[in-house]
A and B are shown apart, each in its own frame.
Chain A
Amino acid sequence: MRGVHDLTLSPFSFETMSNIPENLRYSKDHEWIAVDGDVATIGITDYAQHSLGDVVYVDLPRVGDKFDTHESFGSVESVKAVSEIFTPLGGEITEVNDGLNDAPESVNGEPYTSGWMIKMKMANSGEADALLSAAEYEEYLEASE
């Protein structure tokens, strides 16, 4: 997801640290990825949802759509802004979280569970190895502040 660093934010610090589950992988565009065989579940991170603010709309692709690595697969909208979401992996969409149509705020409240966005059959499961670990993502966040 891009657009997070476009706001001229003064360094704000959360009262609690950004939540970064250990068992997931991450991208520098603030997506999280859960890999299960050759299927990847993708959403945006706690850091991303916090920077966006209240999510009011999520624009997702359809089952069957194919994307290349780093291609935009949709967008997440807050009241004030639209941020495109980029897939960190290439593949075909197998499932889409329709629940986000009625409850886009799940992205804020539960970014790693009910806020999931797409499931994708990876074209090349080796690509997942290039993703960041939780520790690497945390380091990345700290370095960019």
Chain B
Amino acid sequence: MSETELKRTPLNAAHRALGGKMVDFGGWDMPVQYKAGVIEEHLRCRNRAGLFDVSHMGEIWVTGKGAIAFVNRIVTNDVTKLVDGQAHYSALTNEHGGIVDDLLVYRFGEEKLLLVVNAGTTDKDFAWISTHHSDADDCTIENASSKFCQIAVQGPEALKIVQQVTETQLDAISYYHFSEGRVDGVAAIISRTGYTGEDGFEVYAAPEFAERLWAKFLELGGYGTENGILPCGLAARNTLRLESAMSLYGHELGDDITPYEANLGWITKLAKGDFIGRQALAEQKEAGVSRKLAGFEMIEPGIARDGFDIYVDDEKCGVVTSGSPAPFLKKNIGLAFLPPAFTTVGQEIRIDIRGRRAAAVVVQTPFYKRHK
């Protein structure tokens, strides 16, 4: 695929100017890292602040009297429990209970919801939602992804940085809540959410303001000074979410993986009423799962990578879904599917690393938890 066929966010030139190493990420031309490198970007985010371009994510409006009822029957979590200004984590499921995508559902009002979905699955999700939508649902759906840019400021300094350019009282926005306001004079949705395990904000605005907001956050964060904010690429985004044991679609989640297998029972509300996949999920809850997600850390040298086979007592029984060094914890960690009996903390497993079966142990997740 030639470079010109890749999609670009409004910050593409900014990434290149910052020395971003560009790669093809699900059809998008994105920076995998910048000059500082993955490890420094990761650590700076945990210790101070990191800046992320997440404009490639998808945004779908659902508006009208039937919005809540409609969304509630295509996702696993209970949309009726949201209040204005609140968001929650959820999953779109198919008839088998498999995950079409994981997403955030934001409630702006009784007749206005915003679904924020993954970049690589936006078109698939919108097609899926459209297929299950009809006039009888008394609501309108709109793929508004091209009308948004999204920038995340994450880390202990994030609030201080963003507060300088907004009148909105950021400390009044609690985790998984959001507010509509202005950031550097630009109309924005300010959401206290993120994918790093740190405090921080995801700022949504019209795409023509992306470069301005990006530059402003770099400036206010002291980019270029010792311990100043650093732009973080996809590699750091991955190591940060992995340390926090957050799932990634295409790895821990997929069309053939159910919420119960992926430890997402907590966002699966069977009691709320019917939704796509509810029957299959109820049956699985009753029968039990045959594989379950668990976190592990290496105890022998080596780095487990995505797709590596896992053995217990010389029997192949599992697979690594995500594996990587953990820059902050200074260990090599990963997530894996294993038979439920082998997901107890302390269980020793062996991971096939290019022919060598290296020892690892199941540990409690998240691997990293920030100090409040």
Residues of A within 8 A of B (CB): 7-10, 12, 53-54, 56-57, 59, 75, 77-80, 82, 101
Contact = CB atoms under 8 A, between A and B. Distances in A.
A80 B37 contact: no
Interface string B31-44: 01100011110000
Chain B interface, >50% SS class: mixed
B81 interface: no
Contact of B302 (A8, A9, A12, A57): A57
A144 B354 CA distance: 30
Nearest to A7: B23
A12 B23 CA distance: 12
Contacts of B39: 54, 56, 79
Contacts of A59: 302
Contact of A10 (B3, B239, B301, B303): B3
Interface stretch (B14-22, B51-59, B194-202): B14-22
A12 B24 CA distance: 16
B324 interface: yes
B21 A7 contact: yes
Given A77-B303, A82-B305, A101-B301, A8 B38 contact: no
A53 B38 contact: yes
Nearest to B36: A54
A80 B235 CA distance: 7
Contact of B24 (A8, A54, A75, A80): A8
Contacts of A8: 3, 22-24
Contacts of A9: 21-23
Q: Which of A8, A9, A77 has the most chain B CB atoms closer than 10 A to its own CB?
A: A8
Contacts of A78: 38
Nearest to A105: B39
B303 A56 contact: yes
A79 B325 contact: yes
Given A10-B3, A57-B302, A79 B24 contact: no
Contacts of B303: 56-57, 77, 82
Contact size range, B: 20 to 34
B327 interface: yes
B3 A80 contact: no
A142 B24 CA distance: 24
Given A54-B38, A80-B235, 19 more contacts: A8-B22, A9-B21, A9-B22, A12-B19, A12-B21, A54-B37, A54-B39, A54-B40, A56-B325, A57-B301, A57-B302, A57-B303, A57-B325, A59-B302, A77-B303, A78-B38, A79-B235, A79-B325, A80-B38
A53 B238 CA distance: 15
B109 to A, nearest CB: 42
Contacts of A7: 21, 23, 32
Q: Which of B16, B21, B40, B302 has the most chain A CB atoms closer than 10 A to its own CB?
A: B21
A75 B355 CA distance: 13
A10 B13 CA distance: 12
A75 B303 CA distance: 11
Nearest to B39: A54
A82 B32 CA distance: 15
A78 B324 CA distance: 9
A53 B325 contact: no
Nearest to A78: B38
Nearest to B238: A80
Q: Which of A7, A10, A57, A82 has the most chain B CB atoms closer than 10 A to its own CB?
A: A10
A26 B325 CA distance: 30
B38 A79 contact: yes
Contact of A80 (B16, B32, B354): B32
Interface in B271-288: none
Nearest to A81: B305
Contacts of B37: 53-54
Nearest to A53: B37
A27 to B, nearest CB: 22
9 contacts: A7-B32, A8-B23, A10-B21, A57-B325, A79-B39, A79-B327, A80-B38, A80-B235, A82-B305
A53 B301 contact: no
Given A77-B303, A79-B324, A80-B235, A53 B33 contact: yes
Contacts of A77: 303
